Amino acid sequence: MIGMIKVLMLDYGGVTGRWIEDAQISNICRIYGVKERFARGLYGQNGLYSLYEQGKITSRDLHERLCRKSGKKLPYKRMAGTLDGVYKDNHEVVLLLKKIKQKSDVRLALAENTSSKDLRWQRKNLDSIRLFDSIFISEKAKTYKKNPEFFKKCLKTLKVNPNEVLFFDDKKENVESAKKAGIRGFLFSNVREFKKIIEKEMLNKNNKN
């Protein structure tokens, strides 16, 4: 039986906002002096950035390895520059989230494949991040969202039943992973469809209770 929705969980890049990959690639190349091909390889399955986002190496480890690759001796604080212009809020989604917080008791949760360092930058620079009651990141979970264990850890922290959570992501593998954990997952395609699903799956059902 489908019950009341207690938590609305969203991805950031592709739903709540955008992660602009080319901007981050450009920043890495500019700061560390590495070639674009190498920078893009950082995000592969076993790339350094992927290991970093899953908590398998630290941000300082990543910085030092990039320095060794480029032959540059840069201060650790320069790494923060790799995030300049990388994230942009989806203002239509942000507006809808604000309305949900005003009109319901539904908690908002963010689920991201990202690091603590990136999250600190987001908290400082993005209005959307301040709307979330709970934030879950791959670095802390030690795994990406494509692994159902990520969502099981979220559920344990949130202390809710899986069918009380509505999850949106723009990647099918993450939605399927959430479903394997029992969560009601939906693939985000555009704001219009997002609103329709919210009204059908959450607002209407919750208003009946």
Residues 114 and 56 in one domain: no
Q: Which residues pair with 185 in a beta bridge?
A: 167
In this prediction the pTM is: 0.90
Q: What is the pLDDT of residues 140-178, one digit of tens each?
A: 999 999 999 999 999 999 999 999 999 999 999 999 999
Within-domain flag for 48: yes
Residues 126 and 65 in one domain: no
Residues 26 and 119 in one domain: no
Within-domain flag for 146: yes
What residues make up the domain containing 102?
A: 7-18+88-208
Within-domain flag for 1: no
CA 52 to chain CA mean position, Å: 14
The two three-digit tokens of residue 141, written as one number: 């979970």
Q: What is the pLDDT of residues 98-137, one digit of tens each?
A: 999 998 899 999 999 999 999 999 999 999 999 999 999 9
Reference 194, options 11, 6, 20; nearest CA is 11
Average pLDDT, the chain: 93
Which pLDDT score, from 0 to 100, does residue 46 have?
A: 84
Of the pLDDT bands very low, low, confident and very high (cuts 50, 70, 90), residue 209 is very low
Residues 54 and 97 in one domain: no
Strands (E), the chain: 7-10, 17-19, 87-89, 107-112, 134-137, 165-169, 184-187
